Structure 1
Amino acid sequence: MTATNLDTQDHNPTLDLATITARLDRGFPQAPGTGGPDRHSTWVTTLNDDGAPHTTGIGSAWADGAFWFETGPRTRKARNLARDPRCSLALALDEFDLVVEGVASRVTDPALVAARAADWAAGGWPCEVDESGVALTAPFTAPSGGPPPWWVYRVEATSMVALLTVAPGGATRWRF
């Protein structure tokens, strides 16, 4: 891993990745009124077949050192990822904004799918593993997720950029 300080003009030090991941480990609820400015939002960008970006809001989780999200197999993001797994995620927290570039892969390990289902259910979304053992179902999801079943994706980061939104400020890029 390499770290590059992007905030040398204000003489702020390089940010500590462990501090960033420790904050992510605490979680980031996504219901209205639970974060700044009103909630924590995650956006995923995938690549359309013509190379144009497609960005949409998603529910996400941070676990086991990676970002996770779910979507239906017929959604544009799922179709885009099946063709080209490169993507980026953007997340705004109270303390920092974060952009992650990486590669998304569909998770088919039943234990990992069950672990994420448990995480999301604990956060207030009543999802559960469906009869296939490798997808999710629930009474509802965001409209961008399409109808069930919902596949689980893990994003393996190739780079991350954090920009502190609180004093003293700072910005750092990590490449993995």
Structure 2
Amino acid sequence: MTSSTWADFRTAEPDFAETVQQRFQQYRHHVLATLRKDGSSRVTGLEVAFRFGEMWLGMMPDSRKAQDLRRDPRFAVHANPGPDDSMADGDVRIGGCAVEVTDPLVIGRFVAEVGPPQPFHLFRVELGEVVRTSVEGDELFVRSWRPGQAVRTVSRR
């Protein structure tokens, strides 16, 4: 799978990246899907941070989701849909690979900026796919982006 950094995505598709980031920043908690050792899926809650031109996933030390990502970095994260079913701001998810960060300078910079509970695992997101689904009037729109490709929009009534 080809991947890109958040900064690459922002450069390639600034308006789409802004929409996606705002959607994730509307609520604090989101849903992360990882792969268990046996290959089945695990779904857990998680916070997402956007700092230094990157998207970050932080989690408690030795949590199951951290263990999953250390073993197999593939993931999907779904933005919290909010308190009702209006989908006024659309539905957003990102899939890709999570790269664990162990560099003390990077972790120190993240701690100074975000102030997470410590200790923690920090993963930098490498994007494989970004998808936003929205309803406008009586039409459903699915907008997707993959590294090296233009945004693709599919609609149906």
The TM-score normalised by the length of structure 1 is: 0.61
CA pair 27-119 structure 1, distance change in 2 beyond 3 A:
farther
- Please tell me whether the aligned partners of residues 58 and 121 of structure 2 are also in contact (alpha carbons under 8 angstroms): yes
Q: How far apart, CA to CA, are the structure 2 residues paired with 1:89 and 1:98? A: 9
Alignment partner of 1:174 is 2:117: no
Q: How far apart, CA to CA, are the structure 1 residues paired with 2:89 and 2:109? A: 27
Name the counterpart of 1:61.
Answer: 49
Q: Is there any run of 5+ residues in structure 2 with no aligned partner, and where?
A: 3-11, 82-87, 148-157
- Please tell me whether the aligned partners of residues 97 and 125 of structure 2 are also in contact (alpha carbons under 8 angstroms): yes
Q: Is there any run of 5+ residues in structure 1 with no aligned partner, and where?
A: 2-15, 30-34, 122-126, 128-135, 138-148
Aligned mate of 1:95, from 80, 89, 92: 89
| Richer in helix (by share) | 2
Flag as ranges the 4+ runs of structure 1 deviating above 4 A: 24-29, 165-169
CA pair 120-24 structure 1, distance change in 2 beyond 3 A:
farther
Q: How far apart, CA to CA, are the structure 2 residues paired with 1:86 and 1:74? A: 17
Q: How far apart, CA to CA, are the structure 2 residues paired with 1:108 and 1:69? A: 13
Alignment partner of 1:45 is 2:33: yes
| Count of residue correspondences | 130
SS of residue matched to 1:77: helix
Q: How far apart, CA to CA, are the structure 2 residues paired with 1:27 and 1:118? A: 24
Give the C-alpha shift of residue 169 in structure 1: 6.0
Aligned mate of 1:110, from 104, 108, 125: 104
CA pair 50-120 structure 1, distance change in 2 beyond 3 A:
same
Aligned mate of 2:14, from 13, 18, 42: 18
CA pair 96-82 structure 1, distance change in 2 beyond 3 A:
same
Give the C-alpha shift of residue 113 in structure 1: 1.8
Identity value in percent: 26
Which structure would you say has the larger RCO, counting Cα contacts within 8 Å and 6 or more residues apart? 1
Q: Which protein has the larger Cα radius of gyration, Structure 1 or Structure 2? A: 1
Q: How far apart, CA to CA, are the structure 2 residues paired with 1:161 and 1:24? A: 9
| Richer in strand (by share) | 2
CA deviation map 1:154-176 (0-9, x unaligned): 11111111113566863211111
Give the C-alpha shift of residue 25 in structure 1: 5.2
The TM-score normalised by the length of structure 2 is: 0.68
